[in-house]
């Protein structure tokens, strides 16, 4: 059974940093690209960032470029999102999502339960 478990969310002040993590199990982690998708409460889904199976191909939504960094540790079956210079508009539930592809694409076949990030003073 595929499981994706996020951690690291919480309340943080504007301008500060937070690191999200996602531990994966139930599949061969280094065979698939992985992504972060967020949902502002009451709003729709928004892709945030993704990286290929080996981390060579990385993408970010424009609004987080230069502030967020995605990474993976295939030895630990984990995905991370380093979020710096956080803004109130980054407040959202952040989902870890598994791709059905080895490289970046737009099919997410498994999702975690999400981790809430609240940016507020």
Partner 1 sequence: QSVLTQPPSVSAAPGQKVTISCSGSSSNIGNNYVSWYQHLPGKAPKLLISENNRRPSGIPARFSGSKSGTAATLDITGVQTGDEADYYCGTWDSSLSAGPVFGGGTKLTVL
Please give the residue ranges that form the binding site for partner 1 (CB under 8 A): 4, 35, 37, 44-47, 50, 59-62, 95, 97, 100, 104-114
Q: How far is the CB of 93 from partner 1 (least distance, A)?
A: 10
> For residue 116, what are the CA distances in angstroms to 49, 55, 57, 71, 102?
16, 25, 26, 19, 27
Nearest to 36 by CA among 112, 97, 113: 97
Q: How far is the CB of 13 from partner 1 (least distance, A)?
A: 27
Q: How far is the CB of 59 from partner 1 (least distance, A)?
A: 5
The terminus-to-terminus CA distance of the chain in angstroms comes to 40
Nearer to partner 1, 32 or 60 (CB): 60
């Amino acid at each position: 059974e595929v499981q994706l478990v996020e951690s690291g969310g919480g309340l943080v002040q504007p301008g500060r940093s937070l690191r999200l993590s996602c531990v994966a199990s139930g599949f061969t982690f280094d065979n698939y690209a992985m992504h972060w998708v967020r949902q502002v409460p009451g709003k729709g889904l928004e892709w945030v960032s993704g990286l290929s199976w080996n981390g060579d191909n990385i993408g970010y939504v424009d609004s987080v470029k230069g502030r967020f960094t995605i990474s993976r540790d295939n030895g630990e079956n984990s995905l991370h999102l380093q979020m710096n210079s956080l803004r109130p508009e980054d407040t959202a539930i952040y989902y870890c999502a598994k791709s059905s592809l080895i490289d970046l694409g737009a099919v997410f076949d498994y999702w975690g339960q999400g981790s809430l990030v609240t940016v507020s003073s």
